[in-house]
Amino acid sequence: MDKTIGIWMYQNSGGDKIEEKLVSKLRQRDIKSITNLNPRYGIAKNKDLFIKETLINDLDLFFSYNAGEQTQYQVYLYKIINNLMPMINSYESFTLSEDKFQTTFKLKNSGISTTDFELCHRDDTESLRNIMSQWKKMVYKPVDGWGGVGLTKIENEQTLDIILPFLNQADLRFFYVEKFVNYDNSDFRIDIVDGQFVSCYGRKASSDDWRTNITSGGSVFLREANDKLVDIAIKATKATGLDIAGVDIIYDRDKEEYVVLEVNGIPAFATPEQEKMGLDFNDKKLELITDMIERKIKDKG
Ligand SMILES: Nc1ncnc2c1ncn2[C@@H]1O[C@H](COP(=O)(O)OP(=O)(O)O)[C@@H](O)[C@H]1O
Ligand SMILES: [Mg+2]
């Protein structure tokens, strides 16, 4: 019997070409794809969920790979689609990875080194001050942010006093803060698919920033992994339950160990420019994804 999967994939930065390759790889294995299934256009009527003309209930798997166009509605439907069929990534692991605190808490409890962190109620400024006096430097992070946006480095107790009134004005439920890691302003991004190592590259912050994100002026460079890094990335991915993950790791100079910063559930493929630089992992990643889709469909059948 014919198998058909639904795809919602980012189209910018070469995503459209990646999607074409994925569709053609799947076709070679007699798996059909319906692309452009943006849940934004989802309509549920009684037991049926449609996205435009496609009856989602009939699909064998849904591949959701679009970080940029996510809406609350999309995430809301993600959950019911995942009740109907296997999803990559699963709803559960996807929502976990979208929340930095939920993720680091899970990682710490799985024995994986992460940055030290604290979560407290918005009114509990006393414990913020306490942890600040222990740590000396910390980073305030929105738990659902990306691209380095909203991260605030707090360098001393006076800075904390200055920004607390602002944080209190913002309509926050809680504070999530991390100890500021003494590191060389560069990181490792390790991609894992289906529990297997795909690739490693590095990013370094620009000279006037401490964040390695491209959106904060950081740049990508070629960087080899080592066994330790690969082991950490595989374990971190396993702990989150993600089928596809991009694990961000930095080296803590004080603790003299690698620490996981975050686990991304929709790690981008190399852009055409990055491919020219020598990041050549896209085909391997696509191959592993295709294998995994085929297997999950079979398991389901
Ligand atoms: N605890 C920390 N200590 C030092 N630098 C940090 C810390 N947390 C984040 N950074 C820097 O900020 C960047 C963005 O942080 P991250 O947690 O990955 O959030 P985002 O989802 O916005 O990328 C990291 O790539 C790293 O360079
Ligand atoms: Mg990051």
Six-digit token string for 83 = 């009740």
In the chain, what percentage of residues exceed pLDDT 90? 87
Residue 151 identity: L
The pLDDT of residue 1 is above 70: no
Establish whether residue 151 lines the binding site of ligand 1, counting it when its CB lies within 6 angstroms of any ligand atom: yes
Establish whether residue 261 lines the binding site of ligand 1, counting it when its CB lies within 6 angstroms of any ligand atom: yes
138 CA: nearest ligand 1 atom: 1
Whose C-alpha lies nearest to ligand 1, atom 14? 148
Residue 197 identity: F
For residues 82 and 153, what is the distance between their CA atoms, to the nearest angstrom? 38
The pLDDT of residue 268 is above 80: yes
The pLDDT of residue 123 is above 70: yes
Gap from CA of 211 to ligand 1 centroid (Å): 6
In the chain, what percentage of residues exceed pLDDT 70? 99
Question: Which residue from 211, 248, 266 has its CB within 8 A of the most atoms of ligand 1, so it is best to mutate?
Answer: 211
The reported pLDDT for the residue numbered 167 is: 78
Angle 125-135/157-169 helices, nearest 10 degrees?
150
The pLDDT of residue 71 is above 90: no
pTM, rounded to two decimals: 0.95
Establish whether residue 60 lines the binding site of ligand 1, counting it when its CB lies within 6 angstroms of any ligand atom: no
The reported pLDDT for the residue numbered 171 is: 78
Task: Name the pLDDT band for 173 (thresholds 50, 70, 90).
Answer: confident
For residues 126 and 115, what is the distance between their CA atoms, to the nearest angstrom? 21
The reported pLDDT for the residue numbered 68 is: 75
Gap from CA of 53 to ligand 2 centroid (Å): 36
Establish whether residue 213 lines the binding site of ligand 1, counting it when its CB lies within 6 angstroms of any ligand atom: yes
The pLDDT of residue 70 is above 90: no
Residue 145 vs residue 264, higher pLDDT: 264
Dihedrals φ, ψ of 30, to 5°? 60, 35
Gap from CA of 58 to ligand 2 centroid (Å): 36
Q: What is the pLDDT of residues 11-61, one digit of tens each?
A: 999 999 999 999 999 999 999 999 999 999 999 999 999 999 999 999 999
Gap from CA of 69 to ligand 2 centroid (Å): 18
Establish whether residue 180 lines the binding site of ligand 1, counting it when its CB lies within 6 angstroms of any ligand atom: yes
Coil, helix or strand at residue 192: strand
Sign of torsion over alpha carbons 201, 212, 272, 241 = positive
Gap from CA of 176 to ligand 2 centroid (Å): 15
For residues 83 and 91, what is the distance between their CA atoms, to the nearest angstrom? 9
Six-digit token string for 109 = 């409890």
The reported pLDDT for the residue numbered 145 is: 86
The pLDDT of residue 9 is above 80: yes
Q: What is the pLDDT of residues 205-258, one digit of tens each?
A: 999 999 999 989 999 999 999 999 999 999 999 999 999 999 999 999 999 999
Task: Name the pLDDT band for 135 (thresholds 50, 70, 90).
Answer: very high
**pLDDT average, residue stretch 268-283:** 97
The reported pLDDT for the residue numbered 65 is: 97
The reported pLDDT for the residue numbered 69 is: 75
Judged by its nearest atom, the ligand closest to the C-alpha of residue 267 is: 2
- Average pLDDT over the chain reads 95
The reported pLDDT for the residue numbered 169 is: 78
Residue closest to 191 by CA, chosen among 251, 114, 244: 244
Gap from CA of 167 to ligand 2 centroid (Å): 22
Question: Which residue from 97, 149, 151, 253 has its CB within 8 A of the most atoms of ligand 1, so it is best to mutate?
Answer: 151
Gap from CA of 260 to ligand 2 centroid (Å): 10
The pLDDT of residue 10 is above 90: yes
Domains of the chain: 3-89+288-300 (3.40.50.20), 97-111+184-265 (3.30.470.20), 117-179 (3.30.1490)
The reported pLDDT for the residue numbered 11 is: 96
Q: Is the peptide bond before 89 cis (omega within 30 degrees of 0)?
A: yes
Asked if 160 contacts 175 with a C-beta cutoff of 8 angstroms, the reply is: no
The pLDDT of residue 301 is above 70: no
Strands (DSSP E) contained in the chain are 3-9, 31-34, 42-45, 48-51, 54-55, 61-65, 87-88, 117-121, 138-140, 152-154, 174-179, 186-193, 196-204, 219-222, 244-252, 257-264
